[in-house]
Amino acid sequence: MSYRALHRLGAAEIAAAVRGGAVSCEAVARAFLDRIAEREPAVLAFEHLDPAQVLAQARQLDKLGRDGPLLGVPVAVKDIIDTRDMPTAYGSPIYAGHRPVRDATCVALSRRAGAIVMGKAVTAEFAVVHPGKTRHPVDPSRTPGGSSSGSAAAVAADMVPLALGTQTTGSTIKPASYCGVVGYRPTFGTIRCSGVMESAGSCDTAGLYARTLEDISLYRDVLVGTEPVPIAGDTPAPRIGFCRTPQWDRVDPACQRLFEDAAARLARAGAHVTEAELPPEFDAAEEAHRLITSREFVLNFAWEIEHRWSDLSPALREGKIRVGLDCSHERYRAACRQADICRNRLDAVFERYDLLLAPATTGEAPVGTNTGDSSLCSSWTLMHVPTLSVPVFTGPAGLPVGVQLIGARGEDRKLFAAARWVYRKLAFPAGKRRPLQADTDPRPLNGGW
């Protein structure tokens, strides 16, 4: 096995190679550190990185002869997730140099499975909107998205095969779409968030990044504390609901055509594809999410608002904090009731579908440092359903655009299997990797499904 090729391997491949004696944990760590040294100056994905500490972890694993499903696998951890041996600053100067006393649950489970924590990945301030330093790994003039910017960019740049992020609005799915990797937001409550800074507890989840669905499935099983189970290999053509959410008009027209064409291609490949009719209450889900998450945020950060106001960014003060302070408890409770109604109505929609297909973002990563529009994700986050962003499209500027695949609550494994079927049909036409290209011709699509 070529030492220089190690950084191109996925998590399952690395762990198998280490367990089989083909390579040591230290050799894997050195290969990825070399890759980081090559790409990090342009991408700026890491908030904290100590090569000596990385190598010490790897040598300890080799010395102890440990085993595990992630043995020797490098992992980046978003900097709102506590690590006992690395600073966790939550993307804020208020907590510069802060040292937690214990690992977050997701970090502890990663280490128990044999993973090497490479460092802390850049996050937006308190995982909200004010961007960090990370740049898009393909085009540095563009945003990688946020708030899990460093985690997505590190995986996209082959600096790690796995990364931990979080999502309260679109913080995992959006960066995955922009950067061209697989992003997964699990069913709410599936992965424990102990040791993860709380933004809005009604919506917060961990988020996972990888280059393949198989690695996402593997990492998910590690973090729910179960024996890893491969994605089902005999999945029939799924029932797919093509979903034009209330935010459809915000999607770039060229990307709208990509999604419409994808639905037609999937139907020709054998899937049962129909337009999904969402319950009328869904029209109010975006606003309900905005009120719930903003109100919970200002309660969670009452101390920082009271005592460190000047250290909060203007974007945070005039955005989420202002909305949260203006939202009464009565409006908050009404929004929570609206969310409950929507979730129950959406359960009925999934009686007709195996998954829903919808845009992950409004289009390609925009130019500038703004983290982008999360509105294509917020309603699904509020619904507590599992979602994936899978890289199958190429936009007008030649940059990645992900498709968002949504499953029923608690049906994460079923979503993985259906998503792999969709991915293979869209990303490998005629057996070759050729993501669908955006049609810049303004004429509408002919035909349909």
Contact 203, 188 (CB under 8 A): yes
Helices (H), 45-97: 51-64
- Give CA 155 to chain center in angstroms: 11
Contact (Cβ atoms closer than 8 angstroms) between residue 209 and residue 106: no
Tell me, what amino acid is at 432?
A: K
164 with 219: CB under 8 angstroms? no
Q: What is the pLDDT of residue 448?
A: 39
Structure confidence at residue 429 (pLDDT) = 52
Whether residue 11 contacts residue 70, with contact meaning beta carbons closer than 8 Å, is answered with: yes
Q: What is the pTM of this model?
A: 0.95
What is the number of other CB atoms lying within 10 angstroms of the CB of residue 333? 13
Per the structure block, which two tokens stand in for 70?
């992630």
Q: Write out the catalytic residue numbers.
A: 78, 147, 171
Looking from the CA of 308 toward its CB, the CA atoms found within 13 Å total 12
Half-sphere exposure of 94 (CA within 13 A, CB side): 18
- Nearest C-alpha neighbor of 215 from the set 8, 35, 70: 70
**Residues 172, 55: Cα–Cα separation, whole Å:** 28
**Class of 8-223 in CATH:** alpha beta
Q: Map residue 393 onto helix, strand or coil.
A: strand
3-state SS string for 178-195: HHCCEEEECCCCCCCCCC
Write the DSSP string, 277-300: ---GGGGGHHHHHHHHHHHHHHHH
pLDDT for 438: 63
Q: Give per-10-residue mean pLDDT for the chain (449 aa).
A: 81 97 97 98 98 98 94 98 98 98 98 98 97 97 98 98 98 98 98 98 98 98 97 94 96 97 97 96 97 98 98 98 98 98 97 98 97 97 98 96 98 98 83 52 35
